[in-house]
Chain A
Amino acid sequence: MAVRILLVDDHPIVRQGLRTLLEGRPGWEVVGEASDGIEALDKVEVLEPDVVVLDVTMPRMNGLEACRQIQQKKKASSLEVLFVTQHDSPQMMREALDAGARGYVVKSNAARDLLEAVEAVSQHRVFTALTRSPHAC
């Protein structure tokens, strides 16, 4: 299945790492990158991705706020948000899901969990993974 992905993280080197991982999957395309929440909102409008891979802690506008605003804007679009973050915390995961995200992956496990997570959220299924307990439903 073709999936168009927008990467949002303030560290270019992390975006590069995510890109190399995602682009190895046939049919998946990284259509753009953003370095903060405000830039992410602009790129969501223009690029209309299927999945936004979003960091939490970023300058100007953090990922949680960006996610809330994406949910308000997305209307009938099938876009889904997946957080990839350093915060290995149930509280933060709850905040992310409350903000409208469909998935939550901890950055230290991204290489293990990211492909499965993108696949799940692109099919509108929830995927959450704290430390060693990935869970898709």
Chain B
Amino acid sequence: MKLRILLADDHEIVRRGLCSLLQKREGWEVCGEASDGREAVEMAKQLKPDVVIVDIGMPYLNGLDTTRQLLQHDPSFKIIVLTITDSDQVIREALDAGARGFVLKSDAARDLVAAVEALQSKRMFFTPRVNDLVLAGFLEKGHAISRTQPPDLPTLTAREREVTQLLAEGKSSKEVAVLLNLSTKTVETHRSNIMRKLSLHSIRDLVVYAIKNNIIQIQMPPQLRTVSETTVV
């Protein structure tokens, strides 16, 4: 029986590269491709893949919240997070969300096959830096690093985090309502609750919060460092 893999990345060119890499393995098939987190959740529920590979920086629903929603639906999902950064905070959040594999995008050509093999064998796969951090957390604090929570995050519900991402991506309350199949009034209520819980006063504050907490990611171009450009990667 084939190992079925679902890919979620907003860049088709990356998905093509990942497909090409994974389908070279005999007995593996990419059973579906999603271009954002919401699509990934829906496809995973339908396709029930053996392994889900999710990019962290996706529009509508980022990879961390995608991981949380998938595991809430079915704790047996095996999920590998793909990321452009292995900062401490991203590692902590990925582990806390329940990912059992963590691969840097820059190293995916080298590490991804090994990561899928590890999860297939009911093991975990982490980059050396993640392993170091987990070990340091265990030795210094006497418990696994996955218990460590970033200070800002637990105050928001899953739905509020979804709304936060969509608002931070520049969508209006009406657009968010359509995307989440809610009334505009409900979205406005979520928005007020988010602002109150986080003590924020403007959408600008919300965008800063979303960036700081990896709900959306930004990339600064090399020559235009003064230009603030928000890009979901």
Contacts and interface: CB of A to CB of B under 8 A. Distances in A.
Contacts, number: 89
Interface in B10-30: 10-18, 20-21
A110 B12 CA distance: 8
A84 B105 CA distance: 17
A11 B106 contact: yes
B219 interface: yes
B223 interface: yes
Interface string A112-123: 101000000000
Nearest to A61: B222
Contacts of A110: 11-13
Contacts of B110: 12
B193 interface: no
Nearest to B109: A12
Nearest to A108: B11
Contact of A13 (B21, B223, B229, B231): B21
B1 interface: no
The SS class assigned to the A binding surface is helix
Interface string B178-200: 00000000000000000000000
Contacts of A107: 11, 13
Contacts of B224: 89, 91-92, 95
Interface residues of B, number: 26
Given A15-B17, A20-B16, A110-B11, A56 B231 contact: no
B16 A21 contact: yes
Contacts of A111: 12-13, 16
A20 B222 contact: no
B12 A16 contact: no
B108 interface: yes
Contacts of B223: 62, 64, 92, 95
Contact of B13 (A18, A57, A64, A87): A18
Interface of A: 10-21, 56-57, 62, 64, 84, 86-89, 91-92, 95, 107-108, 110-112, 114
Interface of B: 10-18, 20-21, 105-106, 108-110, 112, 219, 221-224, 227, 229, 231, 233
Given A11-B14, A16-B17, 4 more contacts: A86-B219, A86-B231, A87-B229, A114-B13
